Amino acid sequence: MFLQFLFRIHTSEIKYHSILNQLKQYMRHKQLPLPMQKRLVDYYEYRYRGSYFRENTIFPTISDRLRKDMTIYVCMNLIKKVPILKDLPPSVNAHIVPSLRQEVFLPNDIIVKAGTTGDCMYFIHCGTVAVYTPTGKEICHLQDGGYFGEMGLIAKDCKRIANVVAIETTEVYRLDRKYFNSHMRTLPDLYKKLERIADRRRENTLVMEEIHRKHILEKTMRMMDDR
């Protein structure tokens, strides 16, 4: 059994390096710019961490119960980090966690763009993001355990009011509105909490955006007067 385990590890490492070599050949063939090549390699190295496996192939082969238990176990650290999830009863988290989808963003990737329609929210597992008003005023940084985009869950066809950009390689879990709505009856307290947070953040963002717009206008007027 131990030898089989070592063989599987060795095989996954070989597959990983094979995929990475194919990626590099593809990038050279397409003559992609070096910065883009580096970002692609960085993504693969972070995503697979030296071992290649097909999660989409593994998951369908196990029972629904095992799949749910595995997902909850993998996401347990996330639940402990995120206050609004940590405070929920385990039975509620058992409904939410299987609906979470992992995503990885590299430095300077735009995760949320102001003005676009939101249909999900994000929980930060590890990494750092910066939140900006539409005109570029930095509002704050969010790190492990932070979350953003909650308006995408509680308001249909709602426009995003801020830009969220990854400062470093950031791993997040996305919760889509369609999954959230399917469990709405079991999540009334979470809905109310998200609504309060969204209202507070929206008000803060709008105030900072108005101040920044006035600052830009005043600066432009001074530059025109100096001519």
pLDDT at position 205 is: 92
Per DSSP, the three-state class of 21 is helix
pLDDT at position 1 is: 46
Task: Give the residue ranges of the chain where pLDDT is below 70.
Answer: 1-12, 49-60, 184-186, 227
Q: Own/partner pairs for 12-21, CB < 8 Å, 24+ apart?
A: 12/51, 12/52, 12/53, 13/50, 13/51, 13/52, 15/51, 15/52, 15/53, 16/48, 16/50, 16/51, 16/52, 18/52, 19/44, 19/48, 19/52, 20/44, 20/45
Candidates 101, 112, 98; CA nearest to 152 is: 112
Candidates 118, 172, 123, 162; CA nearest to 139 is: 162
